[in-house]
Structure 1
Amino acid sequence: MIFPIFVVMTLLEIYILASVGAAIGGFLTVLLVIITAFIGFFLLKQQGYSTIAKAQNTISNNQTSTFVRLEGVVIVVSGVLLLTPGFITDMIGLLGLLPFSRSYFINRILEKNAKKIFNNNHSGSIIKTQNNQPQQSNEKNTIEGEFWED
C-alpha cells in the first residue's frame, strides 16, 4: 500500500515542478524550492527546541510526556518532508511544523486509534500461570492505558 503512495506522490511532485517551471521559469522554481527549504529549516529548528523544552518541563514535573513525544515524531517527519524537494511535501512538512495544525493532526490520530485500542472485542490481558505459560484472559472490566488533559 505504501509503494503506490510513493509512486503517485513522486509523479505529482514532478508534474507540479514542471508546471511551475513552465509558468515562472526553471531558475525561479529552483529558487522557490530552496526558499521553502530555508523557511522549513528555520521552523524545524525553532519548533524542535520548543518541543525539547516542553519535554524537559514535563519530565521535571513528573508528568507523562506522550503528547510531547508525538509532537517530536511529527516534527522529525515534517523535517524529512521538507528535505524532499517538491511543493506538496514542503506544504505537508510546513503544516506539521505549525503548532496549531500539528496539535490538530495529533488529536485526530489519537481519536481514531483510541477507538481501535479500547474496542471491547480486542480487550484482554495476558496472565502467567504457575508454570510460566502465558494464558489469554478476556476480562472486559480491565482497561490499561494513559490519560492526559490539555
Structure 2
Amino acid sequence: MRLLLFLAFLVVPVLEIWLLIQVGSVIGGPATVALLIADSLLGAWLVRREGRRAWRALQEALRSGRMPERELADGGLVLVGGTLLLTPGFFSDVLGFACILPATRPFMRRLGAWLFERRIKRMAAASPYAGLFPARQDPGASHGAPHGGPVVTGEVIREERDPR
C-alpha cells in the first residue's frame, strides 16, 4: 500500500509533467493546451453518457430483484474515470478513458476485481483470526453444513411483488 501511495503522489505527477513537455515539444504549447481542452470536453461528454447508462442499468437490476454487481462496478469505474479525466495530463486521461469506454471497461472491471481479491486475501492471511476458520478446499465436495454442523433441509419461497 505504501508503494502504491508513493507511485500515486510522486511518480505519476512527474510522469504527467514529462509527457506534457514531450508532447508540447513535438506539437507546440498552444496545440498541447488545445488537445488537453478537447480531451476534457470529450471526457465530460463520455462521463455524462456512460454515467446515465450505468445508472439506468443499476435501476433495472434493482427493479428485477437481482444483485447489481456488474452495474455497481461500472458505476464506480465511470466515477474513477471521470476523476482521472479531471486531472490534467495525458497519462491520467488514458487511464480515465479506459475506465469509461464500454469497450475497455470489462477489462478494467476484471483488473479491479483481481486487485481487490488479492488485497482481501492478503488482509485475511495477516488477520489474527486467519487460522480459526479454515476455508473449505472444494465447496462442492461436501453437501453438509460447514464444520460438521446439522443440515436443515428446506425450500426457498419467493413472494411475488406487486409491480405497481
Match of 2:46 in 1: 43
Match of 2:60 in 1: 57
Runs of at least 5 residues in structure 2 that lack an aligned partner in the other structure: 140-145, 147-164
Match of 1:12 in 2: 15
3-state SS of 1:99 partner:
coil
Using structure 2 for the length normalisation, give the TM-score: 0.69
Alpha-carbon distance in structure 2 between the residues aligned to 1:25 and 1:116? 43
Question: Aligned Cα RMSD in Å?
Answer: 2.5
- Deviation by residue 1:101-137 (Cα, 9 ceiling, x = unmatched): 1111212332454577689x86xxx9xxxxxxxxx54
3-state SS of 1:100 partner:
coil
Match of 2:96 in 1: 93
What is the CA distance between 1:74 and its match in structure 2?
Answer: 0.9
Query: CA, structure 1 residues 46+9, in 2 after alignment: closer, same or farther (shift >3 Å)?
Result: same
Alpha-carbon distance in structure 2 between the residues aligned to 1:118 and 1:71? 23
Alpha-carbon distance in structure 2 between the residues aligned to 1:21 and 1:31? 11
- For these two proteins, the number of residue pairs brought into alignment is 129
3-state SS of 2:66 partner:
coil
What is the CA distance between 1:3 and its match in structure 2?
Answer: 2.4
Match of 1:69 in 2: 72
Using structure 1 for the length normalisation, give the TM-score: 0.75
**Counterpart selection for 1:31 from 31, 34, 51:** 34
Match of 2:106 in 1: 103
Amino acid in the other structure paired with 2:46: L
Q: Which protein is richer in strand relative to its size?
A: 1
Amino acid in the other structure paired with 2:112: I
Query: CA, structure 1 residues 113+20, in 2 after alignment: closer, same or farther (shift >3 Å)?
Result: closer
Match of 2:154 in 1: none
Match of 1:146 in 2: none
Runs of at least 5 residues in structure 1 that lack an aligned partner in the other structure: 127-135, 143-150
Amino acid in the other structure paired with 1:94: F
